[in-house]
Amino acid sequence: MIAIPQQLPEMTVEEYLEWEPQQDLRYEYANGEVFAMTGGTIPHNDIALNLYTALRPHLRFRGCRVNVSDVKVQLTPQSRYYYPDVIVSCDPQDLNARKFIQHPKVIVEVLSPGTSAKDRDEKFTYYLTIPSLQEYILIDSEKISVERYCRGEGRMWLYYSYKAGDTIALSSIEFECPIELLYESVIFPTE
């Protein structure tokens, strides 16, 4: 999904949380500014759904929930609300959430040309400040490539890169899958 700034007046968090559910589009919120979320590509959607489909049965009896695209994460009560492509939470407070997830364990963004810079820079910076977050995953929608950032000791984050033929491991939720599963039925652009 691509976030586009709108010509809307600045809003408080309270105004945003009241206003956004009444809109036809989804909107991210960052310190008073509102960004419309536009539609993604078919490969973007297929990758997110392939991961969701693999995660859901794995997490069903582990006290965790997995959501895709239409569920926002609250970074802090007064600053930012984003819509990740896939989000996993195992926190009891989030299991019955109705508006947003507050304690994600895993956040996944599917990269496309229009979202890559924001997902790697702004969102990356803010996601890594979430105390509950254990893994941040970036999945390329233009080629077979996955990057995983895993919380280490203190403020350290460990980096893992996956390519065709690799098995992706999400250690925080004890999940593994071949990378090809994420790209099942995905058509790449021809050169």
Break the chain into its structural domains and give their ranges: 40-182
In the structure, what pLDDT confidence band is assigned to residue 8 with cuts at 50, 70 and 90? confident
Q: Mean pLDDT throughout 10-28?
A: 89
Please state the pTM of the whole predicted model: 0.90
Tens digits of residue pLDDT in 130-188: 999 999 999 999 999 999 999 999 889 999 999 999 999 999 999 999 999 999 999 98
97 in Cβ contact with 74 (< 8 Å) = no
CATH superfamily name and code, 40-182 = tt1808, chain A (3.90.1570.10)
Tens digits of residue pLDDT in 72-91: 999 887 889 999 999 999 99
* CA gap 126, 53 in Å, rounded: 27
